[in-house]
Structure 1
Amino acid sequence: HSQSRTKRAIKKADVVLLLLDARTKVSELDKQISKFLIEENKPCVLAINKWDLVKGKLQPADYLKYLDLTLRGLQFAPISFISAQTGFNVWETISLAEDLYQQSCQKVKTPLINKILKKIHITRRPKGMEPRIYYAFQTGIHPPTITFKVNKAVLFDKNIQRYLINFLRKELPFKEVPIRLLFQGKDQPSRLRRDKLRTQRVAKVKTV
């Protein structure tokens, strides 16, 4: 029941604060929550609580490496060292969460997206299996969603998608939030065109 409540809360949240105890290892439950955050494309602050109790015993750089290895897929998420008891860095963490929300709501103009796409280099594949990007545009916010018009959507596997996300994160104002990618093959009609075709089909049925 508690996990169900947690998932419902995450679905409703604009930004999630994942609270971790600096004195203990990341739990299996924390790992499950982090995976769900990734699935839901939720902006997240990793708040390391009780840092005052381990200060001097544990170096921030070492702990960051530990989190990168333990919570894979959340390397882009900002980390804040706090103490809920003393109030250390608490308000700064709330401010950080507000920044993430603003990042997630950013809109980028299509010409800028296509300008930076010229820098993309995808490893050559066998003839007929080469993924090609014709153009791209932003189709959503929270999470920022970039739609690519491509030759064949199936050619853009997880490795290529990971490369594109990392590239876009460096170039666009989405440094610390999830980015969702959508791919439309050359033979796939756009959503607007699909809706138009559907309306035409319904109209034909009604007139028959």
Structure 2
Amino acid sequence: MSFTLAIVGRPNVGKSTLFNRLVGKRLALVDDQPGVTRDLREGAARLGDLKFTVIDTAGLEEATDESLQGRMRKLTERAVDMADICLFMIDARMGVTAQDKVFAEILRRRSAHVILAANKSEGAAADAGVYESYGLGLGDPIRLSAEHGEGLNELYAMLQPLADEFETRDDSAPETDIELPEELSEDEAEEGFVMPTPGKPLQIAVVGRPNAGKSTLINAILGEDRLLTGPEAGITRDAISLSMDWDGLPVRLFDTAGMRKKAKVQEKLEKLSVSDGLRALKFAEVVVVLLDAAIPFEQQDLRIADLAEREGRAVVVAVNKWDLEPEKQQKLRDLKEGFARLLPQLRGTPLITVSAKTGRGLDRLREAIFTSYQVWNRRVPTAALNRWLADMIESHPPPAPQGRRIKLRYMTQAKTRPPQFVVMCSQPDKMPASYSRYLVNGLREAFDMPGTPIRLIMRGQGDKNPYKGRKKAQPSKLRKHLQGKRG
């Protein structure tokens, strides 16, 4: 049986802590201060023999306007409508508040199945709050301690009979944690490019500075307001994962927190948010670096793009808010010139102009992402590599440090994702970086690999004589005897 469970309640009652315990991983950010969670986060949960989807929600606020708290409340109410069962959590140590009473009334009207949980109920200090919760009219409360894992048996006992009421569905709940992409096997690589599948979708992380429009862009791709957006900078805190079919391409999109300069990141919560975003970047397959058209290529943008390249991810640069740009042609020329000058290590990376607000440019962005993913998986035959290497050496021979010419003997591709090449040569430690860059740029042009990170390793072949340095073998007694007879 599969069903959806939404965890709702006031800020800081322990919803994210319980979410992490049910999914068995620390996916949601947890901190002592209230209001850490802002977006809806889904996860594949397991409790005993029950498998279900759990939704972590933002803390319910009384605001109903278009403020940040009001928009967060609307997302939470949407989760309540989506879920089969709602788990309403209160803080047993604080007792029932006026807000709890208001939200209990809302849940009675909007959800057919509501379970009441009194969290932080370990110890006698929570007894008064537990007894008080009976007055909410939601039935007997479960005494929970999400932090210590207490009360999960009681939660299972409440969920089991409700689970039987729902029809049988796919047992595999959506995966929202980050998975490391697997290296293609030799057979797969030789046979050709392997398309992403719903089981192994293309993983895309959208990164950038705060207020560049990352969440708005993902909402535009999804075609619905799934993520919290607004004019305020730094709304997103968790790296939220969403799976979808993007015009026939199975993808998993990761919305990340805006990354400010390291010196400006002082608060513990922002450090956790940036760390979560960096984790998404490291394990994505394609990284979309989103820039603001009004202030592109600031120092932080360059750092983020360089980090994606150093992590070996396929990179696409998208310039957002293009609908607000008055001089589009001149601006585009300036962007291309600045990109080539400031990010030479990403030479040939696609530069796409988009408008997350209007949805323009999303088809070109999808095409650029898929093309970059194909290049990232490309394997070049060894014979073609060595023909190319001979031509490169003939055009520009390697240097001769201390009068001894470096010899490049042969070359092969060691792996893909990103493409990595090994050159067997003499004196690899004396190969200058300028000649390695010459070879990398030649690889990009000759084998059509624009933008993707290329790893080039110089490796010494050692002495080719396997007998050099061995002691001369002593003749055996039989050989001496035969040699004496011949004499």
Q: TM-score scaled to structure 1, two decimals?
A: 0.83
2:331 corresponding residue in structure 1 = 59
Larger relative contact order, structure 1 or 2 (CA cutoff 8 Å, min sep 6): 1
1:156 corresponds, among 431, 434, 455, to 431
Distance (Å, rounded) in 1 between the aligned partners of 2:463 and 2:367: 42
1:85 corresponding residue in structure 2 = 357
Q: Shift of the alpha carbon at 1:52?
A: 1.9
Aligned 1:1-208 pairs, distance under 5 A: 1=271, 2-56=273-327, 58-120=330-392, 121-122=396-397, 124-187=399-462
Q: List per-residue Cα deviations over 1:89-132 (Å, max 9, x = no partner).
A: 11220221111111111111110100111111235434544222
Helix, strand or coil at the partner of 1:143: coil
Q: Shift of the alpha carbon at 1:188?
A: 8.4
> Is the 8 Å Cα contact of residues 130 and 155 (structure 1) preserved in structure 2?
no
Q: List per-residue Cα deviations over 1:14-42 (Å, max 9, x = no partner).
A: 01000001111423321221221221122
Q: Shift of the alpha carbon at 1:173?
A: 3.3
The structure number with the bigger radius of gyration is 2
Helix, strand or coil at the partner of 1:68: helix
Helix, strand or coil at the partner of 1:47: strand
Helix, strand or coil at the partner of 2:384: helix
> Is the 8 Å Cα contact of residues 422 and 456 (structure 2) preserved in structure 1?
yes
Distance (Å, rounded) in 2 between the aligned partners of 1:108 and 1:186: 22
Aligned residue type for 2:425: V
Gaps of 5+ in 1: 190-208
Q: Which has the higher helix share?
A: 1
Helix, strand or coil at the partner of 1:102: helix
RMSD over aligned Cα atoms = 2.0
Aligned residue type for 2:354: I
Distance (Å, rounded) in 2 between the aligned partners of 1:134 and 1:41: 26
Aligned residue type for 1:26: F
Gaps of 5+ in 2: 1-270, 465-487
Distance (Å, rounded) in 1 between the aligned partners of 2:308 and 2:432: 21
Q: TM-score scaled to structure 2, two decimals?
A: 0.37
